[in-house]
Amino acid sequence: MYDEKEISRVSIVFAALSNPTRLKILSIIRETKKPLHIKAVADTLKMDYGAVYRHVTVLKKASLLQIFEVGRSRVLSPLHVEAVEQLVQQANIVAK
């Protein structure tokens, strides 16, 4: 049986991945294979910078990406790419 701490950690990850916009953000930064400015992600998604930043904060809390300060810019880099891909593949199997 899972303890409360494990359940809490896993719930944070699943909650972060449950939003289509956050999945798109992870997909965009994964495909570029290099760190990407939040502004570039916002432009790609045709979304407001602030809205994207709020989604990015959730992903960071779930340890799915890192945010680096570069001057006055914030740059994103994905974490645990293979694990996220496996979770998405498994979710596709379950959803069929």
Tens digit of pLDDT for each residue in 34-92? 889 999 999 999 999 999 999 999 999 999 999 999 888 899 999 999 999 999 999 98
**pTM of the predicted model as reported, rounded to 2 decimal places:** 0.90
Structure tokens at 3: 């303890």
pLDDT digits (tens, 9 = 90+) for 5-27: 999 999 999 999 999 999 999 99
Select from 83, 66, 85 the least CA-distant residue to 27: 85
CATH architecture designation of domain 4-95: Orthogonal Bundle (1.10)
